[in-house]
Structure 1
Amino acid sequence: MAIQKLKIGAAGLGRVGKRHALNFLNRTPRAELVAAFSPDPAELAWGKEHLEPYGVTLYDDYDKMIQHPGLMAVVIGTATSVHAEETIKAMEKNLHVLCEKPLSTDCRKVVAEAKKRPHLKVMCGFSRRFDDSFRDAFDKVDRGLIGRPSIIRSQTCDKHDPSGFYIAYAAWSGGVFVDMSVHDIDLTLWFFGDDVIPKSITAHGIRAVQPELEKYNDYDNAVGIVEFHDGKIAYYYCSRMMAHGQEDTTEVIGTEGKVSVNTNPQRNFVNYYHPGGITREVPADFSGRFGMAFVQEANEFTAACLDDTPLPMKLHNAAKAVEIGSYLQEALVTGKQIHFDESGRRVEKAQL
């Protein structure tokens, strides 16, 4: 008897989209990549070399790809600005969806559409939730080993890219807090609980190495603080100027201890001892740190679709993470602190 496989199409073949496509093609035994889409001729040329020889049909039109015969799901790795549109179109075709983070800049609309179709699996791809180290840290917190988690310090820091990629990217990324810190915000909702309600939000930033970001009201380094109504605080740092490589670290501090993840970043367990000192290499980019998490994500999404089991995260959390990131971005650009009442409704405080 033939084993059923999830027939999936990949939308977008950029940096992250390529990784999703190759993972579903080569490292997800219960899935079969049957189609891929990109509007970019260079990305399609890559697809002709790396995907088409293995039976993947290429499309330069998303609407045509989601009509591919037998298609059951799509993984979306296109620009943030079209995530909502493409996710909703896929759902309207009765397709399961794994959408790369952030869910979209119009995330509540996506959540509302997904509620209309409870039989579909719709998930936002927060890769850190599939990382072994973060899962171990969560397990320790969940078992009460650090007491009551009270403070999170978390950062997403990219290696400096002088090519101008991130300057062009800023035109539609939503800003550093929405694009980068959304990972750290999602971790906050995981470790603190998705029912936490912001009390105040503030943020500050600088343009240290990419002054051209000013035209997009964005920054290459930013810090943000979110105070929650239940007495918890989250501190975020995001940066695009690390000289040494990728450095994504998280600390969860509790009343009886703390857990930390990757606070001493390293590529592997090798230290190189030489006359100039001791060298420990770190990953050059996110794929070096979270490559296997993306593989685990693909396999767990596939299993949920085929077996009709619950997804490992709630879609409304992805929307909440984007909303908090958007408020952080607003606080960053305006320089003003933003306040919320205990129901989560935004309020204006008198300035004395």
Structure 2
Amino acid sequence: MPSPRRVSIGIAGLGRIGQRHARTLLAIPQANLVAAFTPAPHELVWARENLEPLGVTVYDDYDKMLEQEGLECVFVATVTAVHAEQVLKGIAKGKHVFTEKPISTKEDVSQSVVDAAAKKPELKVMCGFMRRFDSSYAELKAKLDDGLIGKPVVYYGQTGDKRDPSGFFVQYAQFSGGIFVDCTIHDIDLALWYLGENNVVKSISAVGTCAIEPALAEHNDVDNAVGIVEFYSGQMASFYVTRMMAAGQEDQTWLVGTEGKMSVNLEPRINHLKIHDKYGVRSLEPQTFFDRFAASFATEFAAYLDTIINDTPVPIPFKGAVHAVKIACALQEAVNTGVKILYDENEVRTN
């Protein structure tokens, strides 16, 4: 029996998420991780200890990695500020590109990257939104499409990171684009998936506070925020995002329709174990979004690589990522200014 086709991949960025992605790619049958890039000295040490022994060539220059013979695909997992530049370079070199969200922290830059990808339709270019590949969220979508709860009217999404006393989130705020762009963009993507990919925004408003990290204000960011998006369709989306969950990662979703309601993860848990002891009755929660979505990342990567192997459309159209960025950036502006942002029926801003 012939060996399955494997895609030769280079990964850019070996921080928290890049290291996880590298390990995931090493375990996927469709993936052949052959190269890795990072400019950070401590990440280079990690790569030489953990990747080089497995045959992965390590680079401190992204352009040189792109020149590696036989390289077919690039996974971009660097800081958000350089996503767009690195995706564009990959496209220019004729590489398939998978990029972590968001494409950019600016709508116009994101659109320019989408436009560049559209000029090379033979390349598979996708922005990762792993929640679509989570079994629970996918089942909700399937039942919604079957009409189980009628027309969806209200979406509520929560992304709650466990509190990190190290100060990482303050440092990262310099590059992340803000809490809505960094975190809520996953909920925005789900809201568009469930309520309608082409829904036209009527208004966007948000409020926020720095409850535990006052230094975030220096970067026009907050650690707790609530945003509301109103659509011309009469549908609504509400988002809560926080950096101060005490017990662990708490990402929750519910969707109300004209004939019912569905929810996902209202009781966050890492498995079905229940502990009964002197402290009471409790279950265990995932500590990071990696813990919660490890299987989703693997499923997402495998689905994407299958599109390269079989020359089929990517599972998430690249252009949709621009709409998510537009909404996220507007929410971030609204939380910083206190101004409700209004749009006409062509989703052109009016104030």
For normalisation by structure 2, the TM-score amounts to: 0.98
- The residue that corresponds to 1:212 in the other structure is 215
Q: Distance in 2 between matches of 1:74 and 1:277?
A: 48
Where 1:8 maps in the other structure, the secondary structure is strand
- The residue that corresponds to 2:269 in the other structure is 266
- The residue that corresponds to 1:81 in the other structure is 81
Give runs of aligned pairs for residues 18-167 of structure 1, distance below 5 A: 18-26=19-27, 28-105=28-105, 106-167=109-170
Where 1:346 maps in the other structure, the secondary structure is coil
Unaligned runs of 5+ in 2: none
User: Is 1:174 equivalent to 2:177 in the alignment?
Assistant: yes
Structure 1 position 12, deviation (Å): 0.3
Q: Distance in 2 between matches of 1:170 and 1:112?
A: 28
Q: Distance in 1 between matches of 2:67 and 2:24?
A: 22
- The residue that corresponds to 1:247 in the other structure is 250
Structure 1 position 4, deviation (Å): 3.0
Contact 2:75 2:98 in 1 (8 A): yes
Q: Distance in 2 between matches of 1:323 and 1:57?
A: 37
Q: Distance in 1 between matches of 2:147 and 2:19?
A: 39
Q: Distance in 1 between matches of 2:278 and 2:165?
A: 30
| Letter of the 2:156 counterpart | R
- The residue that corresponds to 1:310 in the other structure is 313
Where 1:304 maps in the other structure, the secondary structure is helix
Range with bigger deviation, 273-282 or 229-238: 273-282
Where 1:109 maps in the other structure, the secondary structure is helix
For residues 253-295 of structure 1, what are the alpha-carbon distances to aligned partners after superposition, in whole Å with 9 as ceiling and x for unaligned? Answer: 1000011010111111001001221021100000110000000
Range with bigger deviation, 97-106 or 111-120: 97-106
Q: Which runs of 4+ in 1 moved over 2 A?
A: 1-4
For residues 86-126 of structure 1, what are the alpha-carbon distances to aligned partners after superposition, in whole Å with 9 as ceiling and x for unaligned? Answer: 00000001000110011212211110101100010000010
Q: Distance in 2 between matches of 1:155 and 1:103?
A: 22
Q: Distance in 2 between matches of 1:237 and 1:188?
A: 13
- The residue that corresponds to 1:13 in the other structure is 14
Alignment RMSD, CA only? 0.8
Where 2:176 maps in the other structure, the secondary structure is coil
Where 2:211 maps in the other structure, the secondary structure is coil
Q: Distance in 1 between matches of 2:216 and 2:6?
A: 44
| Letter of the 1:49 counterpart | E
Q: Distance in 2 between matches of 1:258 and 1:121?
A: 36
For residues 195-235 of structure 1, what are the alpha-carbon distances to aligned partners after superposition, in whole Å with 9 as ceiling and x for unaligned? Answer: 10110000000100000111101000000000000000000
For normalisation by structure 1, the TM-score amounts to: 0.97
